[in-house]
Structure 1
Amino acid sequence: MKVKKRTLLLIAGIVWLIAGFNVARLGILSFGLVEKIWYLYALSILIFIIFGTMFYKMSEKHTKRIIAYEEKRPFWNFFDLKSYLIMAFMMTMGIGLRASGKIPDFFIAFFYTGLGLALSLAGIIFIRNYISYRK
């Protein structure tokens, strides 16, 4: 169950890409349910920029932490405890708000599309770091 630190970068990339794809898919599907208004696309870009910046910094921080490991680590060590708690909170809130029906489709359309693409960007960064990693 222990893997090389380089492999942790790949695992992180795959996890973030899968999460990003699924979140963006929900947003894109919601765009099919709402009137196509130009500013919803602009809001998606804004959300992407905000979260993309945050996830870029996070992926660089986690890459540095992973590279600093001296030996093989359990495969779940691509995140630290704080990151797992944040992820659990975000997933719980997202699923809960969507399931409540209190969030309109237009919000899910722009917010989830931008957020999902930003999550995917983090996955791409981790995979780039995996590919370019040298001992």
Structure 2
Amino acid sequence: MDKAKEIFKVTKKTLLLIAGLVWSFAGFRVFTIGLEDIINYRGNKFISILVGSVVFYIFFKFIFLKMYKKHFIRITTSGLDKQYFFQFFDLKSYFIMGFMITLGILVRASRIFNPVGVANFYIGLGFALFLSGVLFFISFSNTKKIKVQ
């Protein structure tokens, strides 16, 4: 039974790669959803870019950069040589992710907010999340071998 569990464990370096894949894919999807809505919008695109840039800055600097650092440190300083492939997040982060996905779906489906405003938000949020995924890729490529503490 222990050997069966071992196939689900990966090195710390691989965990950084998985985190990069998941974070950047999620960010790309959120970004493209917002971008599609903005492309179909006939109004001032400059305002959309400006609002999206502000959202990006806030989410990247104050949320995702901190989450990246927290998870990078947690992964690389773990005393375990290998961890389960899903441990790029801790339990609290999975709950936050589930809440954000649910809220995003409900907001878009309810149509209580202006779709352009939601799209501007999605562009900034998606790009911030995507860039955080890129940071995991950079960490993956710059890390030769992470030693067990």
Bin for the TM-score computed over the shorter chain = over 0.9
Tell me, which stretches of 5 or more residues in structure 2 are unaligned?
Answer: 1-7
2:16 to 9, 15, 35: 9
CA–CA distance in structure 1, aligned partners of residues 131 and 39 of structure 2: 23
CA–CA distance in structure 2, aligned partners of residues 75 and 32 of structure 1: 37
**Which is helix-richer, 1 or 2?**
1
Q: Is 1:55 equivalent to 2:68 in the alignment?
A: no
TM-score w.r.t. the length of structure 1 is 0.95
Identical-pair percentage: 42
Q: Report matched runs for 1:77-96 at 5 Å.
A: 77-96=87-106
State the number of aligned residues: 135
Q: Report matched runs for 1:58-73 at 5 Å.
A: 58-69=67-78, 70-73=80-83
CA–CA distance in structure 2, aligned partners of residues 123 and 50 of structure 1: 17
Partner amino acid for 1:67? T
Highest CA radius of gyration, 1 or 2?
2
SS in 2 for 1:3: strand
TM-score w.r.t. the length of structure 2 is 0.87
Tell me, which stretches of 5 or more residues in structure 1 are unaligned?
Answer: none
SS in 1 for 2:113: coil
Partner amino acid for 2:140? Y
Runs of 4+ in 1 over 4 A off after TM superposition: none
Instruction: Spell out, residue by residue over 1:32-80, the C-alpha distance to the aligned partner (whole angstroms, 9 max, x if none).
Output: 2321242221110000000111211210110000001222111000000
CA–CA distance in structure 1, aligned partners of residues 48 and 136 of structure 2: 29
CA–CA distance in structure 2, aligned partners of residues 31 and 96 of structure 1: 19
| Backbone CA RMSD of aligned residues | 1.0
